[in-house]
Amino acid sequence: MDTLWTSIVNGLHSVGIHLGVGAANGAGGQVGAGVGEAASRLDMPGLLALAAALGWASGFRLYAVVFIVGMAGWIGWMPLPSGLQVLQHPALLATSGALVFVEFFADKIPGLDSLWDMVNSVIRIPAGAALAAGALGADGSTMALVGALLGGSLAATAQAAKTTTRAAINTSPEPFSNVVMSFVEDGLVVAIVWLASNHPLIFAGVAVVAVLLMWFVTWTLFRFLRAVFRRAQSFFSSATA
């Protein structure tokens, strides 16, 4: 962050704004101290919470997770483990930001949202596993495997709950419930990452309750959708008879 701040100061100098070396060093030192203090909170409970959050949120909004975490690490709001520092790369930030823009609108159009979910289900679960493994894998392959299993399982759970919920909502002709649910998911991703980063123990309790609830919702809505499909199949069969 000192290097980043110095680059900013040099850029200001080039347009005639002079802060002085002392200001640059002082501000850079304050930012560095803040990052160092935040990094000290990345103990094992914090890393486990971060890994779980990355996997869970990836099942809802993978690209938003990559962009938010990468941007937070780049500007110094969140110290990232070595396995996740690639998220700070400008090319990855630009790519994930563009995909966030596309997904924001695609996810709010009935029908298109379910198609988007099916297409992205191929990448959300393995990417959630990879992100969680990156959060835990700095100290060895065993913890990386633990992270991959944790993140992949949570991503699959979230993906299943999201897909079945959206499919059930799309059986209604009005589009408003779909848009509302999409905005809820947008806010949920931010809340998950924030809670895991700042209150890992509280996040653990919330995550356990949420996972149980997602399992229940997925099973209930799956049975509902199966009944809807059976009625539709019966209707078309009788219509063609």
DSSP string, 47-113: HHHHHHHHHHHHHHHHHHHHHHHHHHHHTTSSPPPGGGGGGG-HHHHHHHHHHHHHHHHHTTSTTHH
CA distance 152 to 54: 10
User: What are the structure tokens assigned to 106, written together?
Assistant: 């695609």
Tens of pLDDT, residues 15-63: 454 444 444 344 344 433 433 344 445 678 888 999 999 999 999 999 9
The pTM of this model reads 0.72
Output the pLDDT for position 176: 81
User: What are the structure tokens assigned to 236, written together?
Assistant: 């078309």
- Which one is predicted more confidently, 236 or 174? 174
Task: Compute CA distances 91 → 58, 66, 67, 80, whole Å.
Answer: 20, 12, 11, 17
Output the pLDDT for position 10: 57
Q: Mean pLDDT lowest for which of 60-74, 98-112, 209-223?
A: 209-223
- Asked if residue 111 lies in contact with residue 103, where contact means CB atoms within 8 angstroms, the answer is no
Q: What are phi and psi of 17, to 5 degrees?
A: -105, 120
What average pLDDT does this structure show over 186-214? Answer: 91
- Asked if residue 226 lies in contact with residue 215, where contact means CB atoms within 8 angstroms, the answer is no
What average pLDDT does this structure show over 159-183? Answer: 81
Q: Mean pLDDT lowest for which of 32-46, 94-108, 124-138?
A: 32-46
Q: What are phi and psi of 75, to 5 degrees?
A: -90, 0
Q: Percentage of the chain surpassing pLDDT 70?
A: 73
Output the pLDDT for position 240: 55
CA distance 90 to 100: 15
What is the band of 119 on the pLDDT scale with cuts at 50, 70, 90? confident
Model confidence at 69: pLDDT above 70: yes
Output the pLDDT for position 91: 94
Task: Compute CA distances 125 → 39, 79, 121, 151, 154, whole Å.
Answer: 28, 24, 7, 8, 8
Output the pLDDT for position 28: 40
CA distance 124 to 153: 11
CA distance 230 to 241: 16
What average pLDDT does this structure show over 78-85? Answer: 87
Model confidence at 136: pLDDT above 70: yes
Averaged confidence pLDDT in the chain:
78
Output the pLDDT for position 55: 93
CA distance 151 to 51: 6
CA distance 152 to 1: 32
Output the pLDDT for position 76: 87
Output the pLDDT for position 79: 85
